[in-house]
Structure 1
Amino acid sequence: MTELSAPAAGGDTSPLGPALVEEATKKSGLVWVRGEGPERALWHLWHEGAMYLIGDGGDEQPLPGLTDGGTAEVTVRSKDKGGRLIAWAASVREVEPRSELWETVAPELKGKRLNAVDSDGVLDRWARDCRLLCLTPVSSTTDLPDGSLAAAPADSPVTTRRPAPAALPRLLLGRKRKRG
């Protein structure tokens, strides 16, 4: 595990911080990541002290606001209850396609990629079209926020469902009207 630097203000000063970051992130299949843009739910891989993400190409997850040399905040959720366990700050760096690190991490990520359309050619497609990012922890916090972390929904042309027409249950269930 990479050593975490001094925690941010209000951060975790416990020696369990690095261990908690690693264990929680390893076990969570989904994390929330915020770079320069909005926070996004992303699938990931924990490998040798860092978290790896693949995306920004075709059918892969978008990685908005995550840039090489930038920073990000990662919020890890509990796998069973979905609640917030820990948040940690990370430095972001892009891994060059087909580099030694890429060749080590990409096949492991492939194993975690659910429902890939082209599982045989996914590594070639990732090397050609996607970015592999390494997020290395630099500080952590277990302090829970005072208020809600709920965000307003993103703008969308999708509308809320309207009430079902009164005749729909009869049509679906095949009930016929009684004739008098």
Structure 2
Amino acid sequence: MTNELLDRALVEEATKKSGLIWVRGAGAPAARALWHVWHEGAACVVGDGPGEQPLPGLADGSAAEVTVRSKDKGGRIVAWSATAVELAPDSEAWEAAVAELKGKRLNAPDGEAMTGRWSRECRVVRLEPTGATMSLPDGSLAEAPLPSAATTRQPVPAGLPRLLFKGRKRR
């Protein structure tokens, strides 16, 4: 009984303090990083709408695996199993969860109208802990990036040093 209470406290505190959680829904090929809020004993997420995060495999009543990372170091702290519960738009539970989510949503394109858009076009899902924690994997779960034409490193243009040091005089 004591271990169960300690596990529940660890899940709650770690999830409250973390800005992101990694969630793998039923049938999803890999876990996704999702922003969330901890509200009334569960992690609440919003998504699956235009401009919002995707929620693959998080159907109402499905199982999910949640991994919580440390906010300061980024390492895994705890992994726990959850049941996904989709909240009905404009219900009392939905309103309470959205009030919390609204304060955490950064850079919303529609500002105050975002809750109306969430009601029409998005899903709000509660990830309710089942009480079971899972053992953390030993190795890295990093995957190779997908092939892309995008690049971050290019040679410095030949004229750039002249432009940067044009106004400076050496003494």
Q: For this structure pair, what is the TM-score category when the shorter chain's length is used for normalisation?
A: 0.7 to 0.9
After superposition, where does 1:157-172 map in structure 2 within 5 Å? 157-172=149-164
Corresponding residue number in structure 1 for 2:75: 83
In 2: Cα distance, 1:170 partner to 1:64 partner: 50
Q: State the aligned residue count.
A: 164
Deviation at 1:159, TM superposition (A): 2.7
Corresponding residue number in structure 1 for 2:16: 26
Deviation at 1:69, TM superposition (A): 2.1
Report sequence identity in percent: 60
Structure 1: which amino acid aligns with 2:11?
A: V
Corresponding residue number in structure 1 for 2:66: 74
Corresponding residue number in structure 2 for 1:17: 7
Contact 2:15 / 2:38 at 8 angstroms: preserved in 1? yes
In 2: Cα distance, 1:95 partner to 1:27 partner: 23
Corresponding residue number in structure 2 for 1:7: none
Contact 1:54 / 1:132 at 8 angstroms: preserved in 2? yes
Counterpart of 2:155 in 1: which secondary structure?
A: coil
In 2: Cα distance, 1:153 partner to 1:90 partner: 28
1:123 paired to 2:123: no
Deviation at 1:128, TM superposition (A): 0.4
Q: Deviations over 1:93-127 (max 9, x none)?
A: 21111111111111111011112122221110100
Corresponding residue number in structure 1 for 2:41: 49
Q: Deviations over 1:120-154 (max 9, x none)?
A: 2111010001000111112113x442221212223
Deviation at 1:24, TM superposition (A): 0.5
Moved over 6 A (4+): none
Contact 1:69 / 1:91 at 8 angstroms: preserved in 2? yes
After superposition, where does 1:147-166 map in structure 2 within 5 Å? 147-166=139-158
Structure 2 portions without partners, runs of 5+: none
Change (3 A) 1:94 1:33: same
RMSD over aligned CA atoms reads 2.1
Contact 1:24 / 1:78 at 8 angstroms: preserved in 2? yes
Counterpart of 1:120 in 2: which secondary structure?
A: helix
Corresponding residue number in structure 2 for 1:108: 100
In 2: Cα distance, 1:80 partner to 1:72 partner: 25
Structure 2: which amino acid aligns with 1:34?
A: R
In 2: Cα distance, 1:37 partner to 1:95 partner: 24
Higher helix share: 2
In 1: Cα distance, 2:147 partner to 2:80 partner: 28
In 2: Cα distance, 1:159 partner to 1:18 partner: 43
Greater RCO between the two (CA within 8 Å, min separation 6)? Answer: 1
Structure 1 portions without partners, runs of 5+: 4-12
Of the structure 1 ranges 150-159 and 120-129, higher mean CA displacement relative to structure 2 is found in 150-159
Corresponding residue number in structure 2 for 1:92: 84
